[in-house]
Structure 1
Amino acid sequence: MPKALRIAPALRLALGIAAAPISGMAQTPDYVKAAGMSDLYEITSSKLALQKSRNAEVRRFAQMMIDHHQQTTAATVHAARQDGLRPTPPRLGGAQASIGELNRASGDAFDRLYIGQQIPAHQAALELHQGYAANGDKPALKASAQSAVPIVQQHIQMLQQMPR
Structure 2
Amino acid sequence: MKRSFLGLAMAALLVTSACSNSNESSTATTDTAATDASMSGDTSGAAGAMNTGAMPDSAMGGGAAAADPNGPMAPHSTDAEFMQSAAASDQNEIQLSKLALEKGVTGMAKDHANLMIKDHTKSTSDLKPIAQKKNVTLPADMDAEHKAIAAEMRKLSGKEFETKYMQQMVTDHQKTLNTMVAHQKMTQDADLQGFIGTVTPVVQNHLTMFKQHAAM
TM over 0.5: yes
Residues of 1 paired with 2:95 and 2:209: CA distance?
19
Provide closer, same or farther for how the CA distance between residues 140 and 57 of structure 1 changes in structure 2, counting only shifts above 3 A. same
Structure 1 vs Structure 2 CA RMSD: 2.2
Residues of 1 paired with 2:181 and 2:75: CA distance?
14
Tell me the alpha carbon deviations over residues 59-115 of structure 1, each in whole angstroms, 9 at most, x when there is no partner.
000000000000001111122234x23323333222211111221110000000000
Corresponding position: 1:88 with 2:138 = yes
Could you tell me which runs of 5 or more consecutive residues in structure 2 were left unpaired when the two chains were aligned: 1-66
Superposition TM-score, scaled by structure 1 size: 0.80
Give aligned pairs, total: 146
Select the structure of larger CA radius of gyration: 2
Provide closer, same or farther for how the CA distance between residues 138 and 90 of structure 1 changes in structure 2, counting only shifts above 3 A. farther
Aligned-partner SS, 1:91: coil
Given that 2:74 and 2:179 are in contact with CA atoms closer than 8 Å, whether structure 1 keeps it comes out as no
Higher relative contact order (CA 8 A, sep 6+): 1
Aligned-partner SS, 1:87: coil
Residues of 1 paired with 2:113 and 2:159: CA distance?
15
Which residue is equivalent to 1:133? 184
Corresponding position: 1:40 with 2:88 = no
Residues of 2 paired with 1:143 and 1:101: CA distance?
36
Q: Which moves more between the two structures, 93-102 or 63-72? A: 93-102
Superposition TM-score, scaled by structure 2 size: 0.62
Which residue is equivalent to 2:111? 60
Residues of 1 paired with 2:213 and 2:94: CA distance?
19
Q: Among the aligned pairs, what percent are the same residue?
A: 27
Task: State the Cα distance separating 1:126 from its structure 2 match.
Answer: 0.4
Residues of 2 paired with 1:132 and 1:88: CA distance?
17
Q: For 1:112-131, what aligned pairs fall within 5 Å after superposition?
A: 112-131=163-182
Q: For 1:1-164, what aligned pairs fall within 5 Å after superposition?
A: 10=69, 22-23=76-77, 27-82=78-133, 84-93=134-143, 94-163=145-214
Given that 1:40 and 1:92 are in contact with CA atoms closer than 8 Å, whether structure 2 keeps it comes out as yes
Task: State the Cα distance separating 1:128 from its structure 2 match.
Answer: 1.4
